[in-house]
Structure 1
Amino acid sequence: MISSLAISTLLILLAYLLGSIPTGYMIGRYAQGIDIREHGSGSTGATNVLRTLGKPAASIVLAVDLLKGSLALALTNLAYAYLPDLLPASWHSWIITGAALGAIIGHSKSIWLNFTGGKSVATTLGVLLVMNPLVALGTLASFGVILGISRIVSLSSIGGAIAVNILMLWLNQPTAFSVFAAIAGVYVIVRHKSNIQRLIAGNEPKIGQAL
């Protein structure tokens, strides 16, 4: 008989594989015949696609990357609904956290791209939409306000990574979700290391500017 641990591991692995779908790379390769990793910042995320391929392509990448995160958690919740005898209720928030981390790591360390990828911002937001929609909306609002003022996507993403931790604590979310916010927040900030260096140097591009 399949054990609870085996099912939990499979759910987290599935979340990783969903996150690994290289949306930006695929759009660049099949729409323009380029490797998006060889252009701009080298990221496969929506921001680099916007700079390199334009708004329509970036919109598709953003939507799919959001969906990857949401679907990873939705499938985990679905497994709980249909396998209640095999998945302990006390594990739920922790398995959700594992699947969430699997999805965002998959996006930035895709198995299909030799463990390269994007910076996991959109996929993290997709995860949050299922984990707690109010936290997701608050994080998005923080991102939007900072973006509106600064016109710098990376700074807005870093602000969102900080905001999600504040919101998790303020809304008294389960410990597992707060752990996710802490790990994901640090991970997203670390993924923006080069952006932070440019921010400090004062040469991080704003929306519409080339890198």
Structure 2
Amino acid sequence: MVIAAYLLGSIPSSVWYGIGYLGIDVRKFGSKNAGATNTFRVLGKRAGTVVMLIDVLKGWTATMLAVLLYYFGLITDDQILTYQFIFGIVAIIGHIFPVYVNFKGGKGVATLLGMVLAIHPELALLCITIFILTLIASQYVSLSSILATLAFPVLLLLGVFGKPELSLVIFGFAMFLMVVFTHQKNIVRLLNGSENRVKLFVRKDKGKR
């Protein structure tokens, strides 16, 4: 199951979709990152949305493998969360270091979202809301990703969903540190004022293509 989780996470959706359908390798353009954000930037909204949904599904499916083990009686009810952590984290590692494309992948945020949706869907939806609001206000995907990830353990500590479970809080802060680590260059650009913005609700000139 660990191997299956890694192989699921390793699926390079942006690379395969870009080359397979449009003949474009996203790793050669934009930020040259094989993730959903660069796919939006290079290939457009439709391709970016498809890639993002696949990356989310990778994390969700890998994490739900724990439920499959429980269904077949291989683990007990109180072991499900532990195995969800293991499979989800392995899938994220697979996304960042995919075996299919020389271990150079994306930053793992969408796959992390899929993992969180499997573990705590209500909190995940709240974090998505924070991401969207931050993105609308700042137009920075990197900043939105960092703040939305930080919101997960903070909201748990604040007791928004009742008494917080220690393992979830620790996991949340660990994932926040991972996102900060994978966004080091973005953070430097944010501090320098040179980070790329995502232009939302931009109307195209009808006279131009």
TM-score (norm 2): 0.88
1:73 alignment partner in structure 2: 63
1:14 alignment partner in structure 2: 4
Contact 1:153 1:206 in 2 (8 A): yes
In 2 relative to 1, CA 25–173 (structure 1 residues): closer, same or farther, beyond 3 Å? farther
1:199 alignment partner in structure 2: 190
More relative contact order, 1 or 2 (CA 8 Å, 6+ apart): 1
2:144 alignment partner in structure 1: 156
In 2 relative to 1, CA 44–106 (structure 1 residues): closer, same or farther, beyond 3 Å? same
Corresponding residue to 1:49 among 14, 39, 44: 39
**RMSD (Å), alpha carbons:** 1.6
- Report the secondary structure of 2:175's partner residue: helix
Question: 1:68-147 alignment to 2 at 5 Å?
Answer: 68-83=58-73, 86-147=74-135
CA distance in 1, matches of 2:5, 2:168: 16
CA distance in 2, matches of 1:13, 1:164: 27
- Gaps in structure 2 of 5+ consecutive residues: 201-209
Runs of 4+ in 1 over 6 A off after TM superposition: none
Percent identity between matched residues is 38
Cα deviation for residue 173 of structure 1 reads 4.1
CA distance in 2, matches of 1:13, 1:165: 28
Contact 1:20 1:108 in 2 (8 A): yes
Contact 2:56 2:114 in 1 (8 A): yes
